[in-house]
Chain A
Amino acid sequence: MSRLFIAIGAAVIRMITYLGELVVLAGETFASIVLQKIRWRLFMNQIVEIGLRSQLVVVITGAFTGAVFAAQTFFQFNKLGMGSAVGAVVSVSIMRELGPVLTALMVTGRVGASMSAEIGTMKVTEQIDALRALAVHPTDYLVVPRVLAMMISMPLLVAECIGVGIAAGYFVSVGLLEVNGPYYVANMVRWTGMRDIIMGLSKAACFALLIVFISCHKGLTSREGAVGVGQATTEAVVNASLAVLIFNFFLTMMLNIIFPAGYQ
């Protein structure tokens, strides 16, 4: 029995330590953004890496999610003769939930994994020690450009995912399933508001921070050897994905108080 308590206690302590380390890293990063010189060239490289190179993934994710969601909604709604309401459902749910969450998960897999692998490899090959020995703080050099690039890229990627998703929904409903186009659009515009866009983009910014800090932290604390880096990468992807899903629920509950869903 006491062994059980010890095991649970140890896990809780590990969890708290981990969260503490993430908070410290975030604090260091924001202090560095304010107080240290920002390396814009590295920032631009990261924008290319994160923003530009994620295009295909995000477009495909948005398109097929929007398409399948529109089709499923249509199959249900059409029985009730509400086919033209599909547009409103698709746009609101893609803006509020599907767009931010799915984009975040795809970016975690693509960008988060490569961040932790890259930083982890630098750690185990003494390159981070070399940076420190050359009087360069690893946070300034490695974390800050990635955080800034994520903060800029994620909202844009989410917006792109949402736009493509809505367009695909329109194409499937109106083009393939023969919903009345003008009604579809009118309903969509009527039930969708600024609040939904703000909600989606706020989520995007929060997820950006979760992904980038979890991935950089895993890289910076990677253990020795190829196995250590592999483990760090896996853990970064798993932790960031779970964090996105869990945070998403609380963000939905919180933001729904500020920006209630539905027609007002």
Chain B
Amino acid sequence: MSALPNETKGTPGAAAAPMISVRGLTKAIGPQEILRGVDLDVAKGETLVIIGRSGGGKSVLLKHLVGLMQPDAGEIWIEGENIIGLSERKLAAIRRKVGILFQGGALFDSMTVEENIAFPLREAGERDPRVIRQKVDEMLEVIELEGQHDKMPVNLSGGMKKRVGLARSIIRRPSCVLYDEPTAGLDPVVSDSINHLIRRLQKRFHVTSIVVTHDMKSAFHIADHIDYLHEGRIYFHGTSAELQRSPDPLLQDFLLGRSEASAPPEERTNPEAVVASARA
């Protein structure tokens, strides 16, 4: 982690065709305008990290990208297809390409860990119990929950649920995965292995990823680009290095975890301090 993260990854030339583009996405729920014109592009094989304040609409944005919520206006293009207004059955084809990890895991609580992870395989028509068992074992090893096949979701900790949800969303190797806070609530060691997993999927299988996270260390670790969602729009788009160098006080406050109440004004103008502390 000593080199600048964006020097070590991202295949050049892969940026040509966008996997996902969003244009002018707006969404209000009741009186509250949550998204007010979001534009973003994710190239094939790229990892985009979305950061932003809690309650800023990151989870809502991800749900729009797989058609779980319908926007009030705007377009969402996935591999050249506009998914707005597609019927639930047509969206199924998109959803086989784009997996999503929910913020709360969203495990099926009537099924065991094994059944949860195997669910996408069974739905895809896999019948051979040995194949299923072997793939599930493989996934359990990846998420470091070996031998927990028969536990029920109610008996898992928050972090374990999250990892089982992660396994379920990647077991069929979708070409794009949306992660809603994959490392929130995990200990630093497991967080790091999840970060490596995300990068390994990118390197080995050219998986396109969008990662929503509050964990700046993992953001810098995995991001090709970082978007800062602020007041329903993308306020900043750039690489990790650009974000760290940015003199914008709003971004610095976010990186340093400083609320208005605690920020001494002279520190805000010193970008080196921002970079140093974010890496620490």
Contacts and interface: CB of A to CB of B under 8 A. Distances in A.
A135 B68 contact: no
B100 A133 contact: yes
Contact of A134 (B89, B109, B119): B119
A133 B178 CA distance: 11
Contact of B106 (A121, A130, A136, A137): A130
Given A127-B108, A129-B68, A129-B106, A134 B88 contact: no
Contacts of A136: 92, 123
Contacts of B63: 129
Nearest to A32: B89
Contacts, number: 48
A132 B109 contact: no
B66 interface: yes
B45 interface: no
Nearest to A133: B100
A202 to B, nearest CB: 33
Interface size class of B (residues with CB under 8 A): 20 to 34
Interface size class of A (residues with CB under 8 A): 10 to 19
Given A126-B102, A126-B104, A133 B109 contact: no
A125 interface: yes
A126 B102 CA distance: 8
Nearest to A121: B109
Nearest to B108: A127
A10 to B, nearest CB: 19
Contacts of B99: 133
Contacts of A133: 66, 68, 95, 99-100, 102, 169
B158 to A, nearest CB: 14
Interface in A85-122: 121-122
Contacts of B169: 133
Contact of A132 (B93, B95, B96, B123): B95
Contacts of B100: 133
Nearest to B110: A118
A134 B104 contact: no
B159 interface: no
Interface in B83-132: 88-89, 91-93, 95-96, 99-100, 102, 104, 106-109, 119-120, 123
Contact of A135 (B102, B107, B123): B123
A135 B108 contact: no
A129 B95 CA distance: 12
Contacts of A126: 102, 104, 106
Given A129-B63, A130-B108, A132-B68, A137 B92 contact: yes
Contact of B102 (A121, A130, A137): A130
Contacts of B109: 121, 125, 127
Contacts of A132: 67-68, 88, 91, 95
Nearest to A118: B110
A127 B168 CA distance: 13
A132 B108 CA distance: 12
Contacts of B93: 135
B123 A129 contact: no
B31 to A, nearest CB: 17
A130 B102 CA distance: 8
Interface of A: 121-122, 125-127, 129-130, 132-137
Interface of B: 63, 66-68, 88-89, 91-93, 95-96, 99-100, 102, 104, 106-109, 119-120, 123, 168-169
Given A127-B108, A133-B68, A134-B168, 11 more contacts: A121-B109, A129-B63, A129-B68, A129-B106, A132-B91, A133-B99, A134-B120, A134-B123, A135-B95, A135-B96, A136-B92
